[in-house]
């Protein structure tokens, strides 16, 4: 079963954001067949990398309520209180921040961690520091959004560009209803995603843990 899961992950079909790269690789491959053998091998290597990087496997979110799911694949690099970015509008009180670092080898499709409604989207230009560093959360280029749950509580999700990443994709708009595990965007070529949670959540991960977007549980609602 583990081997089959690995095969499904490696050979998953590409996300549509990768189509321009794949088409470019195919054009280069065709030109190589006509004019230069070295270009054939270069194009083939690029195509294989693009297919791997933009792979978009199916994920099956847990059906039970009261969960916050990982918005991306990667390694948890931060799990501690932090002040949310000002553009989220979530006040200056510290919230629990869970940061996930995506290497160039991780699946880069981003997913919604909860069911709710997108109430705010704010893009901020910035630096392109190594996204595994905590200071990248404050200094790097990022796209921040707020999601309001059915009970009126809100949480923040921040897509953060990394050392190589130069393009953040988010394909929802303010007012859109979203479902946990739903694909909502992508960050190209190494990045980070932070989730800011209120005191009503109990964190279920720690730094060093590996998570899968749309299926791994980051937090559970506390029992009252």
Q: Give the residue numbers marked as catalytic.
A: 191
Q: How far apart are CA 53 and CA 175, in angstroms?
A: 30
Nearest 5°: CA angle at 66, between 131 and 95?
Answer: 45
* HSE of 189, CA atoms in CB hemisphere, 13 A: 11
Q: How far apart are CA 130 and CA 113, in angstroms?
A: 24
Q: How far apart are CA 99 and CA 102, in angstroms?
A: 10
Which two structure tokens, joined as six digits, stand for 121?
């989207």
Chain centroid to CA 101: 9
């Amino acid at each position: 079963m583990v081997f089959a899961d690995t095969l499904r992950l490696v050979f998953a079909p590409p996300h549509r954001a990768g189509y321009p790269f794949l088409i470019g690789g195919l054009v280069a491959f065709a030109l190589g067949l006509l004019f230069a053998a070295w270009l054939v091998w270069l194009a083939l290597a690029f195509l294989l990398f693009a297919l791997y990087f933009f792979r978009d496997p199916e994920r099956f979110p847990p059906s039970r309520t009261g969960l916050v799911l990982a918005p991306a694949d990667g390694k948890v690099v931060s799990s501690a209180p932090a002040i949310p970015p000002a553009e989220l509008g979530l006040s200056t009180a510290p919230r629990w921040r869970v940061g996930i670092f995506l290497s160039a080898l991780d699946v880069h499709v981003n997913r919604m961690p909860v069911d709710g409604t997108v109430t705010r989207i704010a893009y901020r230009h910035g630096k392109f520091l190594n996204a595994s560093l905590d200071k990248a959360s404050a200094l790097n280029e990022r796209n921040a959004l707020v999601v309001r749950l059915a009970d009126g509580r809100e949480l923040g999700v921040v897509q953060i560009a990394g050392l190589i990443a130069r393009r953040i994709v988010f394909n929802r708009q303010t007012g859109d209803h979203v479902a946990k595990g739903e694909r909502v965007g992508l960050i190209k070529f190494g990045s980070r995603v932070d989730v800011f949670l209120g005191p009503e959540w109990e964190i279920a991960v720690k730094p060093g843990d590996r998570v899968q977007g749309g299926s791994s549980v980051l937090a559970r609602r506390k029992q009252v």
